[in-house]
Amino acid sequence: MIKDFKEAFDAGLIEPVRLPDGKFLECEGVRYYQASSEGINMGISRWYVIGDIFRRHDELKLSEDLLRASVASTKSFLKRVMAQVNLDAEQVLDAAREALMVQERVEQRINLGLTLELVYEIAGVYFFAEDENPHEVDSDKRRRNSRRFMAKPELYPFFLQLPLSRFVPLQQLFHAATLNSWKEKNELAMLDWALTRSKLKLNGADSATIQTISSQLETLYGLDGLLDRLSKDTTTLFPPGSETSSDGSNSPSS
């Protein structure tokens, strides 16, 4: 537990999250928290980040991982074009073709509208662990939180009931037809990005670019596991809704 977290907890500004069945929200043995009614102003920075996420999804329809991976891979392919422009026409055409494919992939994604990534990006910011500063949002820890949550499909309807869902039609992401459609699209995306990463490795792309694409693939793998389990058995998902508690059992986990 870091100092900023402890101070906020001791001041009653944050509280552990309760699920509809009364249990705490925990993933991989880690308990998650949220701003309490007294700490709503403390968590304003998180609301700003969530607002940015909404704007990005509303205007671009892209997750952070996809946006970064698309920019990094396109940049790498174009560098190859510039390096080979007067040396190897075939390599130039191949790199240009790959760059266009990345952009077409982004365009297709933009046309899809709402995505599961939106739900988990928001949840990864809205809820935080004891190793996080409640006043700030760390992108790496947000990404970690999102992937932990994806590994627990029973939490999916709970996340669809976040307060911000009143402003965005997240409920449509609970429909079986939507989930099945996304499973097919996600499988294609995994294949596409795995192929792109392999080609960039062969072309000597820098490690930062490869890591960025690997991060996108990790997100897609997490979504694949989630969608697979949701499509096989949605009857185990508990009803939507959430509660928080302020009794003595709400102390931070040790």
Q: Which residue has the higher pLDDT, 191 or 63?
A: 191
Question: Are 104 and 252 contacting, i.e. CB atoms less than 8 angstroms apart?
Answer: no
Q: pLDDT-derived band of residue 53, with 50, 70 and 90 as boundaries?
A: confident
Please tell me whether residue 191 adopts helix, strand or coil conformation. Answer: helix
Rounded CA separation 47/53 (Å)? 10
Give how many domains the chain has, as a whole number.
Answer: 1
For the chain, percent of residues with pLDDT exceeding 90: 10
- Residue 188 sits in which domain range? 3-250
Q: Which residues of 28-54 are buried (b: 16+ CB within 10 A; e: fewer)?
A: eeebbbbbbeebeebbeebbebbeebb
Q: Using alpha carbons, select from 107, 164, 141, 134 the residue that is nearest to residue 27.
A: 141
For the chain, percent of residues with pLDDT exceeding 70: 81
This prediction's pTM: 0.66
pLDDT reported for residue 207: 87
Residue 214 CB coordination number (10 Å): 16
